[in-house]
Structure 1
């Protein structure tokens, strides 16, 4: 089983893993102010946000593959609640920029992540798909 390098626990991603680059907890005055310049409902801003803060995060090709695959499976589920991923949980030590919990269509945001990941991570996804994942 693949291990998460940050936690040393088994790596079992969910679509929420894509939101880590947008976490402004304890960075409201730096990253938070930077992200507030963008509108996640605007297609051009959305693409820039995803490319700059989401897909550029350091991950191994295997982690990228599993994360991409996980998102694809979630997108195939018409009942998957992407809105729930954006809602603020006061019990968690994380938060997204103001207003993100009111995004017009969270599913579209994640569909755009999936589309751009297929392009940006193409080689990594292909490389990992050729391997026997049971050996990870």
Structure 2
């Protein structure tokens, strides 16, 4: 079983993992101000945001972790579209906070579709390498 890269628990990523780089909790005056300049619903802004805050964030993961994360995203994109809006909803109990207005994105699935495309480009070698292995041995 593939273990979390930083914790001694199994690695079971979810869609929220892709939004971790946008967490402005206790950074509203720095990262929050920076992110307020971009509209995640705008394709060109989204491309920049994904490159800087998603692709770079996961650069240190192993090829196996990238593969599992990418595979999970692909399965989510093939499933119910409602899950994408739900991951952007503010949870008042959570110690994380997305920028204001992100929970009102018109097409949250498009955001994750663009994440999928960007990661498939950035991780092409890692994804290929992982696909050549027997996943049951991880």
Task: Tell me which residue corresponds to 1:5.
Answer: 5
Range with greater deviation from structure 2 (39-48 or 52-61): 52-61
Cα deviation, residue 5, structure 1: 2.2
Aligned pairs, number: 136
TM-score, normalised to structure 1, is: 0.95
Q: How big is the shift at 1:80?
A: 4.5
- Matches of 1:8 and 1:29, distance apart in 2: 34
Where in structure 1 are there 5+ consecutive unaligned residues?
A: none
Which residue matches 1:27?
A: 27
4+ runs of 1 displaced by more than 3 Å? none
For residues 8-36 of structure 1, what are the alpha-carbon distances to aligned partners after superposition, in whole Å with 9 as ceiling and x for unaligned? Answer: 21101112211111111111111111111
The 8 Å contact of residues 74 and 80 in structure 1, kept in 2 or not, is answered as no
Alpha-carbon deviations, 1:37-87, whole Å to 9, x = none? 111011100000000001111322111110100000011114442100000
Question: How far apart, CA to CA, are the structure 2 residues paired with 1:40 and 1:26?
Answer: 21
Residue ranges of structure 2 left out of the alignment (5+ in a row): none
Aligned to 1:84: 86
* Residue pair 1:13, 1:67 contacting (<8 A) in 2 also: yes
Residue by residue, what CA displacement relative to the aligned partner does 1:77-102 show, whole Å, maximum 9, x if unpaired?
14442100000101111111110000
- Paired residues of 2:39 and 2:46 also in contact (CA < 8 A): yes
Aligned-pair Cα RMSD in Å: 1.1
State the partner residue of 1:49: 49
- Displacement after TM superposition at 1:135 (Å): 1.5
Alignment TM-score, normalising by the size of structure 2: 0.93
2:97 equivalent in structure 1? 95
